[in-house]
Amino acid sequence: MTETIAIAHWRALDREGEDKCRLARAGQGHLLVGHARFRDGAGWAALDYVVRIGPDWRTMSADVTGEHAGIEIAWKFTRKGNDWTFNDTPVPDLAGAEDIDLAFTPATNLMPLRRLPQVGRIDTRSVWVRLPGPTLSVLTQSYTRARDHFVRYTAEESGYETHLKVDDHGFVQLYPGLWERADA
């Protein structure tokens, strides 16, 4: 049985698109269930995702299904200890990643943001899933609580840095230039 904790709805700022997701308590952990619809350089995407999160707010598994640029997608990511599989095939290059970062949604910033202390910083490694593909690699991320609901975010491999505005549940409210909460 699941119990909804929070719902988020974003609109894309850099393209046509939106994303809606729900965070629910499920057993000892949580579920993040979402629906992203957007147009990128390759075409339209209609992607559904389910991320299973352990009681420690680390990713256990994720499924992504739907269509991107006319190509059907059915991806399953699973973490067991330090190891990851993609569609049941081991991917040694992803070893040690704690989370999944689905690049097409701000929803997956939730897990590290939930682990971020009220004062301080966390560094984490995520499986970075990009379209088309998927293109998979490890993304080293840093989250530092700046003040109240503002968090400095950096992604080492991409050289990206910004300040996120987050809500009390850990959902991003503003991802400058990329996403903005439509329901805030």
Domain-wise residue ranges, the chain: 2-181
Q: Average pLDDT in the 170-176 region? A: 95
Q: Average pLDDT in the 38-52 region? A: 95
Band (pLDDT 50/70/90 cuts) for residue 118 is: confident
Band (pLDDT 50/70/90 cuts) for residue 117 is: confident
Beta strands in 148-182 (DSSP E): 150-155, 160-166, 172-175, 179-181
Phi, psi of 182 (to 5 degrees): -90, -15
132 preceded by a cis bond (ω within 30 of 0):
yes
What one-character DSSP code corresponds to residue 108?
G
What one-character DSSP code corresponds to residue 55?
T
pLDDT over 70 (residue 1): no
**Model-level pTM?**
0.94
Phi, psi of 113 (to 5 degrees): -65, -35
pLDDT over 90 (residue 25): yes
Beta bridge mates, 65: 48, 74
pLDDT tens across 80-100, in order?
Answer: 999 999 999 999 999 999 999
